[in-house]
């Protein structure tokens, strides 16, 4: 197991909780060098170990990614002995991440007030569906509920169909990213005051935070944003257009200068001066007609030829990437956006790299998600003073 020289290599993070929102926050911190100690149920571990469309060789393809760069400690937090060990580990940590339903940590004697009494510098990120306060705080809340309440689900999909999902657990991921933002802000503030604090990251507010002007537009004009499929109403041409052979190309030609370059590529300079399309506002009003003109043109080209033409004219365009396209694309390769790491069962596996890129202290993928309890003995001996004999007793009792 390699060590890290990442920008967070002096931090110790205790990750508690399961599934995506809390563990993705831990993944991000681990990618940039933090020592992330994941506390898991010693019997079954994080459910992500068994999630996925399939389980090749009995292992989930999810877990190598979301568990990467972490140390796994099996610990039963529902038993007093497990709670006592957790308190000892947290007393020497910088950050705790938890995504249990509000009240669970308090029930286990692991409230922030209790933990910070032993460790005033402790930063705790609490990720939940609705936050730690308010009338909904104790409700169960998965990512899809946060997406619905935060407004994302209503505006996603085709206008004549029920709301669609993004295809990934975007609500959970947004909550994790906002939690990490809060953690880094709190750590920065701690350098001045020496004191930690709590980050309260609600899933629905994490979604709400990226909903642009949705609320304000309604407040000022009374307009409720609706589902619009592949377009944004009033932004044209910006859509998915057909190519010969049934493939699709995405073109973003809505800015005035880009639109002018697109008309030149199309051999239609008349579209640049046509009153219906002469500026951003008029193109928005006549969006459907303009999209039809562009689609008739793109359908005469094979996708590679059209991509080459538009690139030569400085018009933003792209194929719709799938995983195979990403693994073959030279841009992904040049920037090492996807890296290979060694898995004990699968062998070499590929996954997305740490991001964002830092020039001096970049993140890295040092190892994939570990086996359940792989680091229990190592971590408890080094950070909780548990002797080999005591560890054997704890194992026998099912505490670890």
Query: Which stretches of 32-142 are DSSP H helices?
Result: 63-66, 80-91, 104-107, 112-118
**What is each CA distance from 328 to 60, 332, 334, in whole angstroms?**
24, 8, 11
Which residue from 256, 272, 361 is spatially nearest to 9, judged by alpha carbons? 361
As to burial, measured by CB atoms within 10 angstroms (0-12 exposed, 13-18 middle, 19+ buried), residue 241 is buried
Catalytic residue among 31, 46, 94, 172: 172
Which residue from 116, 72, 89, 66 is spatially nearest to 375, judged by alpha carbons? 72
How far is the C-alpha of 339 from the C-alpha of 348, rounded, in Å?
A: 10
End-to-end Cα spacing for the chain: 22
Please confirm, yes or no, whether 172 is among the known catalytic residues.
yes
**What is each CA distance from 397 to 108, 318, 324, in whole angstroms?**
18, 57, 47
**What is each CA distance from 128 to 23, 142, 179, 311, in whole angstroms?**
12, 8, 10, 44
Strand locations in the chain (E): 12-15, 35-40, 70-74, 95-98, 123-128, 198-202, 238-242, 248-252, 317-319, 338-343, 347-352
Q: Are 378 and 74 spatial neighbours (Cβ–Cβ below 8 Å)?
A: no
The widest CA-to-CA distance across the chain, in whole angstroms, is 84
How far is the C-alpha of 173 from the C-alpha of 66, rounded, in Å?
A: 11
CA 180 to mean position of chain CA atoms: 10
Catalytic residues, by residue number, are 172
């Amino acid at each position: 197991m390699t060590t890290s020289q990442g920008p967070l290599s002096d931090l110790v993070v205790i990750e508690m909780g399961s599934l995506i929102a809390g563990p993705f926050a831990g993944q991000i911190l681990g990618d940039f060098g933090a020592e992330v100690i994941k506390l898991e149920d010693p019997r079954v571990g994080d459910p992500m170990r068994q999630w996925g469309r399939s389980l090749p060789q009995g292992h989930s393809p999810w877990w190598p990614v979301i568990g990467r760069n972490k140390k796994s400690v099996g610990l039963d937090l529902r038993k007093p002995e497990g709670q006592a060990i957790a308190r000892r580990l947290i007393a020497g940590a910088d950050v705790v991440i938890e995504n249990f339903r509000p009240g669970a940590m308090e029930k286990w004697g692991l409230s922030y007030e209790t933990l910070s009494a032993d460790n005033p510098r402790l930063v705790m990120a609490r990720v939940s569906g609705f936050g730690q306060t308010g009338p909904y705080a104790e409700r169960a809340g998965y990512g899809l509920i946060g997406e619905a309440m935060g407004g994302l689900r209503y505006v996603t999909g085709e206008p004549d169909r029920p709301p669609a999902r993004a295809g990934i657990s975007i609500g959970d991921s947004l909550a994790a990213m906002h939690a990490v933002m809060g953690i880094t802000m709190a750590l920065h503030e701690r350098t001045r005051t020496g004191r930690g604090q709590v980050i309260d990251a609600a899933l629905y507010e994490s979604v709400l935070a990226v909903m642009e002007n949705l609320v304000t537009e309604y407040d000022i004009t009374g307009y409720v944003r609706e589902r619009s499929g592949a377009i944004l109403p009033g932004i044209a041409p910006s859509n998915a257009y057909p190519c010969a052979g049934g493939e699709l190309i995405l073109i973003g030609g809505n800015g005035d200068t880009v639109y002018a370059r697109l008309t030149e590529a199309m051999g239609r300079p008349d579209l640049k001066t046509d009153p219906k399309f002469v500026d951003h506002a008029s193109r928005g009003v006549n969006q459907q007609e303009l999209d039809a003109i562009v689609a008739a043109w793109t359908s005469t080209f094979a996708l590679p030829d059209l991509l080459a033409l538009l690139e030569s004219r400085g018009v933003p365009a792209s194929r719709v990437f799938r995983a195979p396209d990403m693994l073959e694309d030279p841009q992904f390769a040049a920037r090492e956006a996807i890296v290979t790491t060694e898995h004990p069962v699968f062998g070499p596996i590929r996954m997305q790299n740490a991001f964002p890129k830092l020039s001096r202290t970049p993140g890295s993928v040092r190892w994939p998600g570990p086996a359940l309890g792989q680091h229990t003995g190592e971590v408890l001996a080094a950070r909780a003073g548990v002797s080999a004999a005591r560890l054997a007793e704890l194992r026998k009792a099912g505490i670890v």
